[in-house]
Amino acid sequence: MAVLTAGATTYIMARLMGDLPARIDPIRLADDGVRLKGVVLCTDLKRLVGMYDTCSAAVDVDLVFDHGLDDLSHMKGSIRARFSVVCQRCLRPLDLRIEAVADAVWITPGAASKDIPERYDVLVADGSVALDTLAEEELLLVWPMFPTHENPACVPMAAVSGTVASAPFAMLGKLKDARDGD
Ligand SMILES: [Zn+2]
């Protein structure tokens, strides 16, 4: 279900699939004071493909665009998704929950950014931007470099099965035996 909140009024967008608009104009959304709440499909986030085994179908997007008190074009909110990845320590599947917290200011190309407080990310919008590109960029910023389980049962694969490491050589031995037998 996609919900567009403009001021005090909530509009339910009656679109099939209840998806969000494919492209948004962040500066106009800030002018209008709009909240975007809905889902994008994780399979649409092409730059993340290859970084996970499976993903939750829905990537939750909840972003508020407004001018705040300083009249800048703010975007605040979160983008959340779940992925199944390979743990980089034990090599078992890992349920990775990612939440990107956005606190950014949008500017037009060439606009001065020097007066924008440092705590905000500064993003440049030349007209509209693709919402899935925005979502994947926010998720990439917080994607862990080495995702690992947090529980103590997660130990390096080699430590629990030292025989695995020698298996290729055992196989070579078998091949050699077979050849010697010829
Ligand atoms: Zn692990």
In a domain, 102, yes or no: yes
Q: Return the pLDDT at 148.
A: 94
Gap from CA of 67 to ligand 1 centroid (Å): 44
Q: Is residue 170 part of a domain?
A: no
Percent of the chain with pLDDT over 90: 52
Centroid of ligand 1 to alpha carbon of 148 (angstroms): 5
Please tell me the distance between residue 150's alpha carbon and the centre of ligand 1 in angstroms.
7
Cα 113 to ligand 1 centroid, rounded to whole Å: 42
Confirm whether 60 is domain-assigned: yes
pLDDT at 142: 93
pLDDT at 102: 95
Q: Is residue 47 assigned to a domain?
A: yes
Q: Find the domain containing 147 and state its range.
A: 2-153
From ligand 1's centre to the CA of 40, what distance in Å? 29
Ranges of beta strands (E only) in 21-72 are 23-24, 34-41, 54-55, 58-66
Q: 79: left (phi > 0), else alpha (psi -120 to 50), else beta?
A: beta
Start-to-end Cα distance in the chain: 69
CA of 83 to the centre of ligand 1 (A): 15
CA of 95 relative to ligand 1 center, distance in Å: 10
pLDDT at 72: 95
The answer as to whether 166 is a domain residue is: no
Whole-model pTM?
A: 0.73
Q: What is the pLDDT of residue 31?
A: 92
Q: Each residue of 144-171: pLDDT tens digit?
A: 999 999 988 899 877 655 544 444 444 4
The rounded mean pLDDT for the chain is 80
Domain membership of residue 88 (yes or no) is yes
| Number of domains comprising the chain | 1
Express each pLDDT in 19-73 by its tens digit: 588 999 999 999 999 999 999 888 888 888 888 888 877 899 999 999 988 989 9
- What's residue 4's pLDDT? 47
- Is residue 99 a part of any domain in this protein? yes
State in Å: Cα 68 to ligand 1 middle: 43
Does any domain span residue 106? yes
